[in-house]
Amino acid sequence: MPTGTNIRTYFDGSWHEGDIAVMKAADHGMWLGSNVFDGARYAHGLTPDLDRHCARVNASAEALMVTPTVSVEEMVAIVHEGLKAYAPDAAVYIRPMYWAIDGGMSAIVPKEGGRTGFAICLEEIPMAPPDAAATLTRTRFRRPVLEDAVVNAKAACLYPNNARMLVEARAKGFTNALVADAVGNVAETATANVFAVRDGEVFTPVANGTFLAGITRARHMANLRADGVRVHETVMTFEDFHAADEIFLSGNLMKVTPVTAFDDTRFQIGPMSRRVRELYWDWAASAG
């Protein structure tokens, strides 16, 4: 079942209306998980950092030993062509994807020089209103390290672990999970990067190779610093988040999501999360 509506699919060199089939049962990506994706956004008539998201899906493919076949420039052009079918005020999730078709050594490894599947899915998913908030709890599941999993890629095979985190959190009455890395420090949430605000300064877990330090995360940090806010990338504990004045999440899908609870600690939707959202869309408009 799709997440959004009004779906269009780019596959085999052209755009198609609807959620069409793109994989076959024997494709390596279908049965052995060599599939990667990225997510960009079209909102307010803008596609912020689309080129960076396209570049990252190519890098993710290489991390899974899948050969990328579409240049960043070509991918950006294909996306803009597909978006012409949507209304200027539509909010669209942009998802380019690769997967290996052919297996190589003992079928497990994608075949070197083998065929690569490529598709782009566009689907309308509304942007959340500014007061739509998340609540967080701890989870027993952790982010893996590079020695255990392909954490240097936005790979579909990583997401069952995130799903376990979400199921556990929602069973406890929360919407998301604040997740530790392998040694017990905070890494991110199950679905997004995370920031804490204390005494007017912003803190976020340092990128340590256990999670994707997101494109939107980097954009928020740059915008805040340009606005004169001190931003720290540092090792953070769960107590740091309990002690925060404000918490917000950063992800491509909704850009900024304020947090109103972490276990039994309650928060207001604060001025920093509002400012981060304003700065982001002001930057996006200025960047075109």
pLDDT at 105: 72
pLDDT at 288: 76
Mean per-residue pLDDT, 84-99: 97
> Which residues belong to CATH 3.20.10.10 in the chain?
134-287
Kindly report, residue by residue over 227-262, the tens digit of the pLDDT: 999 999 999 999 999 999 999 999 999 999 999 999
pLDDT at 39: 96
Closest CA to 84 of 74, 95, 75, 92: 92
pLDDT at 8: 98
> Token pair for residue 67?
């050969």
**Of 106-115, 117-126, 129-138, the least confident:** 106-115
> Token pair for residue 48?
């912020």
Give the position of tokens 């579409």: 70
Q: What is 5-124's CATH number?
A: 3.30.470.10
Give the position of tokens 């920031």: 195
Burial of 35 (0-12, 13-18, 19+ CB in 10 A): buried
pLDDT at 55 over 90: yes
Cα–Cα dist 85/62, whole Å: 31
pLDDT at 1 over 60: no
Q: What is 134-287's CATH number?
A: 3.20.10.10
Confidence of residue 269 (pLDDT cuts 50, 70, 90): very high
> Token pair for residue 231?
């931003």
Closest CA to 24 of 141, 146, 115: 115
Kindly report, residue by residue over 255-268, the tens digit of the pLDDT: 999 999 999 999 99
> Which residues belong to CATH 3.30.470.10 in the chain?
5-124
Pick the residue with more confidence: 107 or 181?
181
Cα–Cα dist 261/176, whole Å: 10
- Rg of the chain taking only CA atoms, in angstroms: 19
Closest CA to 117 of 103, 100, 95, 94: 100
CB 112 within 8 A of CB 104: yes
pLDDT at 3: 84
pLDDT at 104: 75
Mean per-residue pLDDT, 27-40: 96
Give the position of tokens 């002690």: 243
CB 92 within 8 A of CB 125: yes
